[in-house]
A = this chain, B = another copy of it.
Amino acid sequence: MSSPSIPSPPTIGVFDSGFGGLTVLRALIRRFPSARFAFIGDTARLPYGSKSRRTIARYAVESAQFLVREQGAEFLVIACNTASALALDAIESAVPVQVLGVIEPGAMAARAASRSGDVLVIATDATVKSHAYAAACQALGLRALEKACPLLVPLVEEGWIRHPVTAEVIRIYLDELLADASAKQLTPDTLVLGCTHYPLLRPLIEQAVPEGMRVIDSAESAADAALRMINGRMLSPSSGPDPEPLIRCFATDSVDKFQRLGSRFLDRPVGDVELVDLGG
């Protein structure tokens, strides 16, 4: 679509262990409507959550190098909470481009939103065990209480996004979390969605939180942070008509599930998902 006189837009690389990070890609597309994107989901080796830090770093670096060397990515977004928590340094050392994770932007958005300084975080079991959000929040002067909500990812993947069962599960988890906060004498006013699957549940979650509680979507926060970090040339939309992002999606396995569920996460067709072998 771009005319030859306009320099071709740079590429933003997005990495996840699965396809949940497509919600981060979706948020990025809204902010960079004429950019090129390369997304890789390391589906052959998920879940990262149960693996050691060294293994996760090795896997994440391989995906990051694929995005930079083979897809020409000039900026990387690590749309995977586990890799953001455990491998951001390793990725930064391994590639010559700027790298952004999802955790720090989520914590920064929570700090901007919270008046009480008490923040709730819901995430997968692995992310909660890493305490990465609690640490990032604490570094910003917030108190954070984390809760693992292991049923929410399967419910999203089952497609029960507005289902009464999902609403009930969310209510149970939030009741437990609020009771725990109350027992610890916290007065939380902000809830961070610390998993890339959870933005799809945002309508149900917003219905379930107490009146006045702010909901922070770390996919949106990461895209906002990318907007601040990436230099001006990527911000100007192409001067041609109807700027349209160019998106290529790669997976290391399970292209089927990626393709079947991905469009719901991306909010547009994912198109062909290309299978890539990273060794491993």
Contacts and interface: CB of A to CB of B under 8 A. Distances in A.
Interface in A39-58: 43-44, 50-51
A59 to B, nearest CB: 13
A127 to B, nearest CB: 15
Interface in A143-195: 150-151, 153-155, 157-158, 160, 165, 168-169, 172
A254 interface: yes
Nearest to A47: B47
A253 interface: yes
Interface in A9-27: none
A172 B160 CA distance: 12
Interface string A128-155: 0000000000000000000000110111
A50 B253 contact: yes
A254 B49 CA distance: 10
A242 B157 CA distance: 48
A52 to B, nearest CB: 8
22 contacts: A43-B50, A44-B50, A44-B51, A50-B253, A50-B254, A50-B257, A51-B253, A150-B154, A150-B157, A150-B158, A151-B151, A151-B154, A151-B155, A151-B158, A151-B160, A153-B154, A154-B154, A165-B165, A165-B168, A165-B169, A165-B172, A168-B168
Given A43-B50, A165-B172, 15 more contacts: A44-B51, A50-B253, A50-B254, A50-B257, A51-B253, A150-B154, A150-B157, A150-B158, A151-B151, A151-B154, A151-B158, A151-B160, A154-B154, A165-B169, A168-B168
